[in-house]
Structure 1
């Protein structure tokens, strides 16, 4: 592999890293638990952006703090899984555009 191809590949890798950072910040995923009583929204970095509790969650939980905690945890975890799936899909699309065979060949 010659130096020019290596530089080109490194430049593409840096560009892809910048794109990924932007995608992590702008990708959002949302999930609910308890039949919609708890809604969580996270970004691609899995930072919690919003947690919404339906007012009916108070009657549904009726003082059961552990149940409410479980509903919140479930919604946040599912939103994180959805964000991971979106990021994986985005990453595959980005890597598809990079012809590694051409650069390495």
Structure 2
């Protein structure tokens, strides 16, 4: 390995670090929203899959309040759907970033 190879490797490591920082920023900035029960429960989540907001309509307390299990199911469904949407948004973002590198398509990122 000569000095030019070391230089190329250092440059590639710098690019990888830069991409990781961009990805972290995108994960934080990506926000998705999903609801269940016709909008009775709404979840807002970022790309890191952190729940930013959980909204339960007041009508759910009256109708589902007597059926706690139904309300729990609606919350679970909304959180799961928000997670799926976050995954899709991040996959699209990663595919876009990788496309800029001129790499061949990665099967899991289409």
- 1:72-99: per-residue Cα shift (whole Å, max 9, x none)? 0110110011011000100010111113
For residues 38 and 87 of structure 1, what CA distance do their matches in structure 2 show? 23
TM-score (norm 1): 0.89
Runs of 4+ in 1 over 4 A off after TM superposition: none
Aligned CA-pair RMSD: 1.6
* Residue 72 of structure 1 pairs with residue 75 of structure 2: yes
Name the TM-score, length of structure 2 as normaliser.
0.85
**Which of these residues, 33, 40, 54, is aligned with residue 43 of structure 2?**
40
The alignment status of 1:81 with 2:94, answered yes or no, reads no
Gaps in structure 1 of 5+ consecutive residues: none
SS in 1 for 2:82: helix
Within 5 Å, give how 1:88-103 maps onto structure 2: 88-100=91-103
- Which sits farther off after the overlay, 2-11 or 62-71? 2-11
